[in-house]
Amino acid sequence: MKRILLVLSFLSLVQTASAQLFSTEKVRNQESFDKNFLSWGYFLGFNSYDFNFDYEQDQKDILIDTSAGFNVGLIGNMRINDYLDLRLEPGLYITKRFLNYDPSYFAGIADVNSSDLEREVRSTYIHIPLLLKASTKRLNNFKPFIVGGISTALNLSSNEENPDDNSVGQFRTKKNVYFYEIGFGIDFYLYWFKFSPSIRGVFGLNDELIRDLDANSPWTSNVTTMKTRGVFINFTFQ
């Protein structure tokens, strides 16, 4: 009986809290903010980049060790209607990844050491997405949304023009990368500004790998495509 009463009490509390959150009218902060045709802001955040490999032959996967990176950038927002916005979010994204090769890739090659089995890939992206933001109706002082679009990035750390390759320890990638993106978040209307945490997945469209001069290179010969994928967590201030 006590358990039943506890459950009923909990359900009643949840129902009451839900009613207060979604139904009770509150003082609306920044009530006319979303009526502006153009608005501006900036974002700070974190990223975690990965690679997705497709292979020529069935060998052990190249393993990727990821690390948390840093994002910073600007926002330009154009209002289409009460529920749709077009956004441009140019930013600087800094990250690094480590590729770990299985020793089987080096079968028949003499003098293989531990440094040959790992490659560090540093990336500094100038990332420019064009996004469509679709929002729900505003609920008091918050408004959930989804966002999606396409983007391009210039990798300042690509080594694309470097004549050296993996034979001397230089792993090379292409400068220009293209993505599609999709994510979601919530707009919180605070007293002085609008704060919007969001999470977004990014998926590369083009192969980024620069092949080694040796057609039988253990680092690149078995790779059909190498495409970036990643997760962004951004905190937007407008």
pLDDT higher than threshold 80 for residue 121: yes
Tokens of 210: 């620069």
pLDDT at residue 2, as a whole number: 37
Q: Which domains does the chain have, with CATH numbers?
A: 32-237 (2.40.160.20)
- Short-list 226, 203, 204, CA closest to 119: 226
Indicate the length of the chain as a whole number: 238
> What distance in Å separates the CA atoms of residue 46 and residue 49, rounded to the nearest whole number?
10
pLDDT at residue 3, as a whole number: 41
Strand pairing report for 63-66 and 91-100: antiparallel
Tokens of 50: 């990965």
pLDDT higher than threshold 60 for residue 98: yes
Per-residue pLDDT band for 24 (boundaries 50, 70, 90) equals low
> What distance in Å separates the CA atoms of residue 5 and residue 1, rounded to the nearest whole number?
6
Predicted confidence (pLDDT) per residue in 36-63, tens digit = 899 999 999 999 999 999 998 888 899 9
Which tops the pLDDT comparison, 58 or 71? 71
> What distance in Å separates the CA atoms of residue 225 and residue 217, rounded to the nearest whole number?
15
Tokens of 128: 């420019």
Predicted confidence (pLDDT) per residue in 133-167, tens digit = 999 998 888 899 999 999 999 999 988 888 888 88
Q: Which residues of 70-103 are buried (b: 16+ CB within 10 A; e: fewer)?
A: ebebebebeeeeeeebebebebebbbbbebebee
pLDDT at residue 13, as a whole number: 35
Question: Mean pLDDT over all residues of the chain?
Answer: 86
The residue-averaged pLDDT of 216-227 equals 92
Q: Is 119 exposed, middle or buried (0-12, 13-18, 19+ CB in 10 A)?
A: middle
pLDDT higher than threshold 60 for residue 19: no
Contacts of 180 (CB under 8 A, 6+ apart): 148, 149, 150, 151, 202, 203, 205
pTM: 0.82
Going 120 to 170 to 210 to 95, the CA torsion angle's sign is positive
The residue-averaged pLDDT of 65-80 equals 94
Predicted confidence (pLDDT) per residue in 179-195, tens digit = 999 999 999 999 899 99
pLDDT at residue 34, as a whole number: 82
Counting residues of the chain whose pLDDT is more than 90, the rounded percentage is 61
pLDDT at residue 123, as a whole number: 93
pLDDT higher than threshold 50 for residue 11: no
